[in-house]
Amino acid sequence: MFGALRIWQRCVSRSVSLCVPRMNLHLSCTKMLKEIRETQEGNVRVFEGVNVPSPREPYVVKTEDPRGCCTICSLGLDVKHTDVLILSQYLRSDGCMLPRRITGLCRKQQKRISYMVAMAQKAGLMPNIGPPGSKKDPKRRFKWKKFNTYFDESTIRDLKSIVEVRKKRAAELE
């Protein structure tokens, strides 16, 4: 049953890698993003979608994984909730987690990262990425929220199930 599941996962991740040009498979010449700009000229307000080159293009880490894993799995990264430089890459400017079709993560990593984003936001480690009305200074929050809080990544429920599956597999091999 696990074998079938793995093959299915592989197919899914491959199809994702074909439609998302993050796996070094570039059909277009350069990566262009769209940005919506708003200009006011007298009584006329103009909204236009402009193509802009991606600012991340020169810094993207190249992953060459034959199985077509997601970036975090194939790099073997052990991300913690204090790694705000990594977590902030998966966020919109209002602090929302991007969906899976844009992040290109596998199901487990998407769940794990979104949990850790919530942890980092509760700990006040990313106060500059948030909705416009949010409090920028975590020390001015309400009641208990103004005090420093840290989290344990082993409390993320999905991780436990991964460990259990690994233990079961190891027991079967022995």
| Contact set with another protein (CB under 8 A) | 20-22, 28, 31-36, 49, 52, 54-57, 59-61, 71-72, 75, 77, 82, 84-86, 88-90, 92-94, 102-104, 123-129, 136, 143-144, 147-152, 155
Nearer to another protein, 144 or 174 (CB): 144
Distance in Å, CB of 172 to another protein, minimum: 33
Distance in Å, CB of 36 to another protein, minimum: 6
Nearer to another protein, 38 or 172 (CB): 38
Distance in Å, CB of 101 to another protein, minimum: 8
Distance in Å, CB of 41 to another protein, minimum: 23
- Which two structure tokens, joined as six digits, stand for 10? 């592989």
Q: Which amino acid appears at position 75 of this protein? A: L
Answer yes or no: are the C-beta atoms of 65 and 9 closer than 8 Å. no
109 CB-contact burial (10 Å; exposed 0-12 / middle 13-18 / buried 19+): buried
Nearer to another protein, 2 or 150 (CB): 150
Nearer to another protein, 7 or 60 (CB): 60
For the beta carbon of residue 81, count every other beta carbon within 10 angstroms: 22
Distance in Å, CB of 143 to another protein, minimum: 6
Which backbone phi and psi does 81 adopt, to 5 degrees? -75, -10
What span, in angstroms and rounded, lies between the C-alpha atoms of 73 and 75?
6
C-alpha distances out from residue 133 to 44, 67, 96, Å: 28, 43, 14
Nearer to another protein, 11 or 33 (CB): 33
136 CB-contact burial (10 Å; exposed 0-12 / middle 13-18 / buried 19+): exposed
